[in-house]
Structure 1
Amino acid sequence: MTTSSPEPSVSPYSKGRQNAVVATLAFAGMGASFMQTILIPIQSELPKLLNADPTDTAWVITVTLLTAAISTPIAGRLGDMFGKKRIALVLMALLLIGSVVSAAAPGLIALIIGRALQGTGMGVIPLGISLLRDVVDSRRLGSSIALVSATLGVGGAIGLPISALVTQNLDWHMLFVVASVVAAAALVLIAVVAPADRDRAPGRVDIVGAIGLAAGLVGVLLAISQGNTWGWGSKATLTCLIAGVLVLVGWGWFELRSKAPLVDLRVSARPAVLTTNLASVAMGFALFSSSIAFPQLLELPSQVGGLGIDLLPASLVLMPSGLAMLAMSPIAGRIERSIGPKPLLAAGAIVIVIAYAGCLFLPLTALSIALINTVIGIGIGLGYAAMPALIIGAVPRHETASANGLNALMRAFGTTAASALVGAILASSTGADQASSFGIVFLLGLIAAVVCAGLALAIPRTKAEVPAASAEAEQTVPAR
């Protein structure tokens, strides 16, 4: 069995070049995650704005989720084969095209197409994390990974108030003009700053594997994301779910027999990788339970148990969580160097457990929600910094991008499951039942965090997972 090689202690790139690459990849990741929340402020108004049925306008949100989930593992494998920078540029170009199409969209169909292209940009985050392995000094790798991982929360946290401001004062198309500018800037920065790849995996493009993975994921994710709308026992939901599972089973059988698989399932089945991916599902669920519940709790009228806060103030209440994720990145890097990523993941999960316990036992006001959500952001920042480091330490260098892409898919699966389940719980309650429904949601988030902590503690230690404190004794390498 192939094992991952130890990380070099010193990068061949100067410290300034390393910092520029990290900042560029963080900006690109923030831009991609910003696209995920860009329409949340006007989601309820889309039927009127697009002159379409609410069931149809829901696809404007759903299609981005689907294309992000499908493109992320595929882009990871292509990055390993053809170069992470090259594929990151392709993703940013698709994100830019999607933003321009959406900005000019006259109606629903064009907007769905644009949003589908925007969703592909999410693959730049695991690609960027993998690229860091080739560029950044080992002793700084943990902090750099934490910073790029944090952009998943930062983009959404900053995006909500920006989107609220734009939609309250300008035409909704201006949201995508802003998105186009961000995507164009990220594309140029990656082209200029990011170095070409040094390591590439030989092989051919597994077209059958890509089609099989895409078809299976579409079936499963459609069933999960549309179950509330279609009905969980409806023919459409069950057909999508069963067909998706069957296709994924067949895809797995094919991948195990392929000489150049899209996803090396043998590597993915290693205990350290498998357990980390399962923990990622649980943490994704814990994250999105609060992301769905808190905005509704803040904005619901006080007569039905909410706080009756308008969209923009509610967005500002939730924004510190993403900023906490950003602030935790250097701290998470130092902790990871000292004790390793496994305890870091467990610590992050425990912090989230404490936060959800506060939801269950403290009175929920705007201030307490801001504090609790910030604590959740701290826990997510720790956990999201640890997961890529665990994956990097357990897989060969030439499979870093594809393995991180699969891990990102597992996190997305957890958030999708949380969105569907939490949405179903809150949609089924009215009036006085609303408060108890929020309690159920917070209890589910707590349970998911406990499961994540348990899985984190069960992750076997790999040879590559050695605290990097010993890397302080560096050799001088000529800077490029």
Structure 2
Amino acid sequence: MPAKEERPPVHDSKPTTPSAQGGGIVAVLAVAGIVAALMQTLVVPLIGELPQILHTSASNASWTVTATLLAAAVSTPTVGRLGDLYGKRRMLLISTVPLIAGSIACALAGSLAPMIVGRGLQGMGMGLVPLGISALRDLLPPERLGSSIALMSSSMGIGGALGLPIAAAVAENASWRALFWASAVLSAVITVLIWILVPATPATPATPATPATPGTAATPAASGSPAGARGRFDVVGAVGLGGGVICLLLGVSKGADWGWASTTTLGLFAGSVVLLLAWGVWELRVTDPLIDLRVTARRQVLLTNIASILVGFAMYAQSLVVMQLLQLPKTTGYGLGQSMLAAGLWMAPSGLMMMAVSPLGANLSKARGPKVTLGVGSLVIAIGYGSSMALLSAPWGLMIVTMVCSAGVGLAYGAMPALIMGAVPQSETAAANSFNTVMRSLGTSVSAAVVGVVLSQMTISLGGHSLPSEDGFRTGMLIGCGVALVAAVFTLTLPRRKADPELQATALAERVAESTEGAR
């Protein structure tokens, strides 16, 4: 194996300053994550109108959702690794560029192709979330890190929940183009705030971290600065992972439309297996891999990523069921006859609930460890699904269901980065968190496919139209409950750690640095 090439220190363009270590960093990065997540649900209120707006079929219009998912899955691990190599602040700023460009492209679109391009660019902005989580680890003192990471991690769910009512309100009361112009303005504001308030996260070469053993955290280099990544960016690895993930998610997302046994769907799944296996072999041989599979294979990282798939599945299933139930006509006997705007407003408190429980989850992780928080969160999600069996008949009942489920998601999502970062070197935090984000996306994609199949198979006929039946909705919720319970049981296999050795080591290094500086 060739020796690693030494690289000169790489810094962002803005120096780190003590004054920047305040709440402004957390607020800006959390809002950036929420804005990026908003893009995921921005077009949902327009799905019914997009065929007429874009002069295309309903099947083709669905690509406006699929394109965002695929772009996010491909770009997120790439951006994460670049953040480790060249500084998180720099990549945070770069990640806002496609958000702005994509929003403008969608606002100006008059046909399908530019809309798909714009939506793909918007999806690339999802890298803001794992980059922000990793930047917090570099910039905040240990005592503030847990609650800040929990809030940042929950921003994906918060943005998705708040996106529906906001988008529905704008779509019903203004031009659909206003949605995208507003998102462009928001993205531009976020860019300015990151530039002003978020300090540099230098990727400086440091003494290598002591590798972590399964169930323990990696010990960082004995210096006050972050342990930076060295080496070159793995272009082949990025292409291989991107191709494999695209084939997998495309097959999962469009399999119901194309047919699960169709040549196209089976070919995509086979291509995914081949590409991901080849990618794995390459990553194990290359000197500077995109994702260090040896680190990813550590028990704590591997099991957390598997749990992330399960929680991602459980998170998304209820949103598919609840939104349809709220909007189905009352003549079905179980539909609640709400408008898109009203349905979105009934679901909006779930995003606020997720935000509210984030600090509670951080406190629980601090007291009992993130493993416990992940398990409790999964159980709360299961309780929310279970309660739906008695609460499906009224809008307020569904609001309670979504709030309970979102509380569980907030707890679980906040614990995942803590588990990941407690088992990887600090120089790989952005890449590891990005890969974890892809695992969550995989869970939501599989959830959409499974629940979609259930609702399409269990139907009633009304006015010549086929609609999901009440039993179909109940089955979808029970599946979500079962998956959440599996996630809770799965967390028992995670190693338990009451304290984070890395945070303790970081705090010790900071005290040593301060003492040395004072002696000078």
Query: Is the pair's TM-score, using the shorter chain for normalization, greater than 0.5?
Result: yes
Question: How far apart, CA to CA, are the structure 1 residues paired with 2:19 and 2:44?
Answer: 39
Counterpart code for 1:335 = L
Which residue is equivalent to 1:36?
A: 40
Counterpart code for 1:251 = W
Which residue is equivalent to 2:246?
A: 218
Asked if residue 424 in structure 1 is aligned to residue 453 in structure 2, the reply is: yes
Which residue is equivalent to 1:451?
A: 486
Counterpart code for 2:181 = V
Which residue is equivalent to 1:115?
A: 119
Which residue is equivalent to 1:234?
A: 262
Question: How far apart, CA to CA, are the structure 2 residues paired with 1:388 and 1:455?
Answer: 17
Counterpart code for 1:436 = D
The answer to whether the 8 A contact 2:85-2:230 is kept is yes
Question: How far apart, CA to CA, are the structure 2 residues paired with 1:145 and 1:284?
Answer: 18
RMSD over aligned Cα atoms: 2.2
Which has the larger displacement, 28-37 or 151-160?
151-160
Q: How many residues align?
A: 468
Identity of aligned pairs, percent? 43
- Which SS does the other structure have where 1:152 is aligned? helix
The answer to whether the 8 A contact 2:422-2:502 is kept is no
Question: How far apart, CA to CA, are the structure 2 residues paired with 1:206 and 1:378?
Answer: 38
Question: How far apart, CA to CA, are the structure 2 residues paired with 1:449 and 1:271?
Answer: 21
Question: How far apart, CA to CA, are the structure 1 residues paired with 2:17 and 2:144?
Answer: 13
State the structure with more CA Rg.
Answer: 2
Asked if residue 331 in structure 1 is aligned to residue 366 in structure 2, the reply is: no
1:404 to 433, 457, 462: 433
Question: 1:13-62 CA deviation, whole Å, 9 max, x = no partner?
Answer: 64763311111101110110011111100111110111111121111110
Asked if residue 47 in structure 1 is aligned to residue 82 in structure 2, the reply is: no
Gaps in structure 1 of 5+ consecutive residues: 1-11
2:306 to 242, 257, 278: 278
Which residue is equivalent to 1:302?
A: 330
**1:169-248 mapped onto 2 (5 Å cutoff):** 169-199=173-203, 200-248=228-276
The answer to whether the 8 A contact 2:369-2:497 is kept is no
- Which SS does the other structure have where 1:198 is aligned? coil
| Deviation of the 1:460 alpha carbon | 1.4
Which residue is equivalent to 1:266?
A: 294
Question: How far apart, CA to CA, are the structure 2 residues paired with 1:90 and 1:13?
Answer: 21
Counterpart code for 2:478 = L
| Deviation of the 1:427 alpha carbon | 2.1
1:150 to 140, 146, 154: 154
Question: How far apart, CA to CA, are the structure 1 residues paired with 2:158 and 2:471?
Answer: 30
Gaps in structure 2 of 5+ consecutive residues: 1-15, 204-227, 462-467
The answer to whether the 8 A contact 2:346-2:395 is kept is yes
Which has the larger displacement, 454-463 or 265-274?
454-463
The answer to whether the 8 A contact 2:312-2:444 is kept is yes
1:84 to 63, 82, 88: 88
The answer to whether the 8 A contact 1:219-1:244 is kept is yes
Which residue is equivalent to 1:287?
A: 315
Question: 1:259-279 CA deviation, whole Å, 9 max, x = no partner?
Answer: 111110010000000000000
Q: 1:94 to 1:378 in 2, by over 3 A?
A: same
Question: How far apart, CA to CA, are the structure 2 residues paired with 1:134 and 1:397?
Answer: 8
Which residue is equivalent to 2:30?
A: 26
Asked if residue 71 in structure 1 is aligned to residue 75 in structure 2, the reply is: yes
The answer to whether the 8 A contact 1:336-1:467 is kept is no
Question: 1:367-406 CA deviation, whole Å, 9 max, x = no partner?
Answer: 1110111011110000000000100101000000000001
The answer to whether the 8 A contact 1:276-1:455 is kept is no
Q: 1:204 to 1:462 in 2, by over 3 A?
A: farther
1:313 to 321, 342, 349: 342
Q: 1:467 to 1:198 in 2, by over 3 A?
A: closer
Which residue is equivalent to 1:6?
A: none
Which residue is equivalent to 2:413?
A: 384
TM-score by length of 2: 0.86
TM-score by length of 1: 0.93
| Deviation of the 1:334 alpha carbon | 1.5
Counterpart code for 1:444 = I
Which has the larger displacement, 113-122 or 159-168?
159-168
Which residue is equivalent to 2:469?
A: 434
The answer to whether the 8 A contact 1:150-1:384 is kept is yes
- Which SS does the other structure have where 1:44 is aligned? coil
The answer to whether the 8 A contact 1:341-1:465 is kept is no
Question: How far apart, CA to CA, are the structure 2 residues paired with 1:252 and 1:263?
Answer: 9
The answer to whether the 8 A contact 1:272-1:461 is kept is no
Asked if residue 100 in structure 1 is aligned to residue 104 in structure 2, the reply is: yes
The answer to whether the 8 A contact 1:394-1:462 is kept is no
1:365 to 388, 391, 394: 394
Question: How far apart, CA to CA, are the structure 1 residues paired with 2:403 and 2:246?
Answer: 33
| Deviation of the 1:472 alpha carbon | 10
- Which SS does the other structure have where 1:431 is aligned? strand
| Deviation of the 1:248 alpha carbon | 0.6
Which has the larger displacement, 175-184 or 418-427?
418-427
Question: How far apart, CA to CA, are the structure 2 residues paired with 1:464 and 1:90?
Answer: 35
Which has the larger displacement, 470-479 or 199-208?
470-479
Q: Per chain length, whose mean CA-contact separation is higher, i.e. which structure has more relative contact order (CA < 8 Å, sep 6+)?
A: 1
The answer to whether the 8 A contact 1:147-1:329 is kept is yes
The answer to whether the 8 A contact 1:95-1:121 is kept is yes
| Deviation of the 1:465 alpha carbon | 3.2
Q: 1:78 to 1:308 in 2, by over 3 A?
A: same
Q: Which runs of 4+ in 1 moved over 3 A?
A: 12-17, 361-364, 461-479
| Deviation of the 1:430 alpha carbon | 2.0
Which has the larger displacement, 194-203 or 17-26?
194-203
- Which SS does the other structure have where 2:365 is aligned? helix
The answer to whether the 8 A contact 1:338-1:469 is kept is no
